[in-house]
Protein backbone atom coordinates (compact mmCIF):
# COMPACT_ATOMS: atom_id res chain seq x y z
CA UNK A 1 0.00 0.00 0.00
CA UNK A 2 1.36 3.41 -1.00
CA UNK A 3 -0.34 6.60 0.16
CA UNK A 4 0.00 9.92 -1.69
CA UNK A 5 -1.25 13.09 -0.05
CA UNK A 6 0.22 15.60 -2.45
CA UNK A 7 3.34 15.90 -4.57
CA UNK A 8 5.37 13.19 -6.26
CA UNK A 9 6.68 11.41 -3.17
CA UNK A 10 4.58 8.96 -1.20
CA UNK A 11 4.08 9.68 2.48
CA UNK A 12 4.13 5.98 3.42
CA UNK A 13 5.52 2.86 1.82
CA UNK A 14 5.27 -0.85 2.33
CA UNK A 15 8.12 -2.93 3.74
CA UNK A 16 8.20 -4.89 0.47
CA UNK A 17 10.48 -2.21 -0.99
CA UNK A 18 14.24 -2.61 -0.78
CA UNK A 19 15.85 -0.22 1.70
CA UNK A 20 18.87 1.29 -0.05
CA UNK A 21 20.15 2.48 3.32
CA UNK A 22 20.06 -1.06 4.73
CA UNK A 23 21.68 -2.48 1.58
CA UNK A 24 24.50 0.06 1.84
CA UNK A 25 25.07 -0.74 5.52
CA UNK A 26 25.12 -4.47 4.64
CA UNK A 27 27.77 -3.73 2.00
CA UNK A 28 29.92 -1.95 4.56
CA UNK A 29 29.42 -4.31 7.49
CA UNK A 30 28.65 -7.61 5.76
CA UNK A 31 25.57 -9.63 6.61
CA UNK A 32 24.79 -13.30 6.27
CA UNK A 33 27.15 -14.69 3.66
CA UNK A 34 28.42 -11.27 2.55
CA UNK A 35 31.83 -10.12 3.66
CA UNK A 36 32.50 -6.63 4.97
CA UNK A 37 33.78 -4.28 2.26
CA UNK A 38 34.50 -1.29 4.46
CA UNK A 39 37.79 0.40 5.08
CA UNK A 40 38.51 2.35 8.24
CA UNK A 41 40.12 5.76 8.18
CA UNK A 42 39.72 9.19 9.73
CA UNK A 43 37.47 12.13 9.05
CA UNK A 44 39.42 15.34 9.61
CA UNK A 45 36.73 17.83 10.58
CA UNK A 46 37.77 21.44 10.35
CA UNK A 47 36.80 23.47 13.39
CA UNK A 48 34.72 26.61 12.95
CA UNK A 49 34.02 29.68 15.06
CA UNK A 50 30.64 31.24 15.89
CA UNK A 51 30.59 32.98 12.48
CA UNK A 52 31.09 29.59 10.74
CA UNK A 53 34.63 30.53 9.61
CA UNK A 54 37.54 28.11 9.85
CA UNK A 55 39.63 28.65 12.99
CA UNK A 56 43.19 29.59 12.08
CA UNK A 57 46.06 27.80 13.83
CA UNK A 58 48.50 30.03 15.78
CA UNK A 59 51.28 28.87 13.40
CA UNK A 60 49.51 30.52 10.47
CA UNK A 61 50.56 34.05 11.31
CA UNK A 62 50.58 35.46 8.63
CA UNK A 63 50.32 32.13 6.71
CA UNK A 64 51.13 28.47 7.48
CA UNK A 65 54.63 27.19 6.74
CA UNK A 66 54.18 23.79 5.08
CA UNK A 67 57.90 22.99 5.46
CA UNK A 68 57.98 23.36 9.25
CA UNK A 69 56.13 20.84 11.39
CA UNK A 70 53.38 22.33 13.56
CA UNK A 71 52.32 19.89 16.32
CA UNK A 72 48.84 21.46 16.41
CA UNK A 73 47.72 21.51 12.76
CA UNK A 74 50.44 19.46 10.95
CA UNK A 75 50.82 22.31 8.41
CA UNK A 76 47.08 22.47 7.64
CA UNK A 77 46.87 26.11 8.80
CA UNK A 78 43.53 25.53 10.52
CA UNK A 79 42.45 23.71 13.66
CA UNK A 80 40.82 20.31 13.20
CA UNK A 81 39.78 17.15 14.99
CA UNK A 82 39.80 13.59 13.70
CA UNK A 83 37.23 10.84 14.26
CA UNK A 84 37.03 7.26 13.02
CA UNK A 85 35.32 6.81 9.68
CA UNK A 86 34.09 3.69 7.88
CA UNK A 87 33.88 4.01 4.10
CA UNK A 88 34.01 2.23 0.78
CA UNK A 89 36.22 3.86 -1.84
CA UNK A 90 36.95 3.60 -5.54
CA UNK A 91 40.08 5.05 -7.15
CA UNK A 92 39.30 7.08 -10.25
CA UNK A 93 42.86 7.90 -11.38
CA UNK A 94 43.56 7.35 -15.03
CA UNK A 95 40.13 8.55 -16.11
CA UNK A 96 40.29 11.83 -17.95
CA UNK A 97 37.93 14.53 -16.80
CA UNK A 98 37.85 18.28 -16.32
CA UNK A 99 38.71 18.17 -12.60
CA UNK A 100 41.82 16.07 -13.17
CA UNK A 101 42.97 18.36 -15.97
CA UNK A 102 42.42 21.41 -13.74
CA UNK A 103 44.70 19.99 -11.04
CA UNK A 104 47.32 18.85 -13.56
CA UNK A 105 47.43 22.36 -15.02
CA UNK A 106 48.08 23.73 -11.51
CA UNK A 107 51.39 21.83 -11.43
CA UNK A 108 50.33 18.69 -9.61
CA UNK A 109 52.18 15.81 -11.26
CA UNK A 110 50.30 13.01 -9.51
CA UNK A 111 46.57 13.43 -9.20
CA UNK A 112 44.90 10.56 -7.38
CA UNK A 113 41.15 10.93 -7.44
CA UNK A 114 38.88 8.83 -5.22
CA UNK A 115 35.17 8.49 -4.68
CA UNK A 116 34.23 7.67 -1.10
CA UNK A 117 30.88 6.22 -0.09
CA UNK A 118 29.90 7.12 3.48
CA UNK A 119 27.09 6.29 5.90
CA UNK A 120 23.95 8.42 5.94
CA UNK A 121 24.39 9.60 9.54
CA UNK A 122 27.73 11.38 9.18
CA UNK A 123 28.19 15.15 9.37
CA UNK A 124 30.58 16.24 6.63
CA UNK A 125 31.34 19.50 4.82
CA UNK A 126 33.40 20.33 1.76
CA UNK A 127 36.14 21.81 4.01
CA UNK A 128 36.69 18.48 5.81
CA UNK A 129 39.19 15.86 4.65
CA UNK A 130 39.35 12.07 4.57
CA UNK A 131 42.50 10.35 5.81
CA UNK A 132 43.31 6.75 4.92
CA UNK A 133 45.39 4.64 7.29
CA UNK A 134 48.08 2.07 6.51
CA UNK A 135 47.08 -1.60 6.56
CA UNK A 136 48.93 -4.91 6.58
CA UNK A 137 48.68 -7.62 3.90
CA UNK A 138 45.38 -8.88 5.39
CA UNK A 139 43.79 -5.42 5.30
CA UNK A 140 44.00 -4.89 9.06
CA UNK A 141 45.11 -1.50 10.40
CA UNK A 142 48.78 -1.41 11.39
CA UNK A 143 49.73 -0.43 14.92
CA UNK A 144 50.64 2.19 15.77
CA UNK A 145 48.09 3.72 13.39
CA UNK A 146 49.77 5.62 10.61
CA UNK A 147 48.13 8.09 8.23
CA UNK A 148 48.84 7.07 4.66
CA UNK A 149 46.96 9.50 2.37
CA UNK A 150 44.82 12.59 2.80
CA UNK A 151 42.05 13.60 0.42
CA UNK A 152 40.63 17.08 -0.12
CA UNK A 153 36.91 16.90 -0.80
CA UNK A 154 35.78 18.21 -4.15
CA UNK A 155 32.04 17.49 -3.99
CA UNK A 156 29.78 15.98 -1.32
CA UNK A 157 26.58 14.43 -2.69
CA UNK A 158 23.87 13.31 -0.27
CA UNK A 159 22.07 10.56 -2.21
CA UNK A 160 18.38 10.64 -1.36
CA UNK A 161 15.49 8.32 -2.08
CA UNK A 162 12.37 7.52 -0.03
CA UNK A 163 10.65 10.76 0.95
CA UNK A 164 13.93 12.62 0.46
CA UNK A 165 15.85 10.88 3.27
CA UNK A 166 19.62 10.54 2.86
CA UNK A 167 20.58 6.95 2.02
CA UNK A 168 24.37 7.51 1.87
CA UNK A 169 26.93 10.11 0.78
CA UNK A 170 29.09 9.98 -2.35
CA UNK A 171 32.18 12.17 -1.97
CA UNK A 172 34.55 13.00 -4.84
CA UNK A 173 38.06 13.85 -3.68
CA UNK A 174 41.61 14.65 -4.75
CA UNK A 175 44.68 13.35 -2.91
CA UNK A 176 46.80 16.09 -1.39
CA UNK A 177 50.58 15.97 -1.40
CA UNK A 178 51.56 17.02 2.12
CA UNK A 179 54.90 16.87 3.92
CA UNK A 180 53.64 16.09 7.43
CA UNK A 181 50.79 13.63 7.41
CA UNK A 182 52.12 12.01 10.61
CA UNK A 183 54.22 13.29 13.48
CA UNK A 184 57.91 13.31 12.33
CA UNK A 185 58.75 10.89 15.19
CA UNK A 186 56.41 8.25 13.69
CA UNK A 187 58.38 6.34 11.07
Q: For 50-70, how does the pLDDT look when each residue is reduced to its tens digit (9 = 90+)?
A: 999 999 998 887 766 677 788
Extents of the domains making up the chain: 20-44+88-176
Q: What is the dihedral sign for C-alpha 90, 91, 95, 101?
A: positive
CA angle 67, 68, 69 (to 5 degrees): 120
Do 112 and 174 meet the contact criterion of CB atoms below 8 Å apart? Answer: yes
Q: For 161-183, how does the pLDDT look when each residue is reduced to its tens digit (9 = 90+)?
A: 867 888 999 999 999 988 888 88
Amino acid sequence: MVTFTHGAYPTSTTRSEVSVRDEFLNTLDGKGFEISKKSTGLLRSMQRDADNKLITCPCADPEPDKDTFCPICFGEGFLWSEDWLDFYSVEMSGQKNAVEEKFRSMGSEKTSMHIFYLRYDIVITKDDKIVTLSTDQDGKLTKPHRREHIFRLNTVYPLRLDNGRIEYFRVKSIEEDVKYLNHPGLA
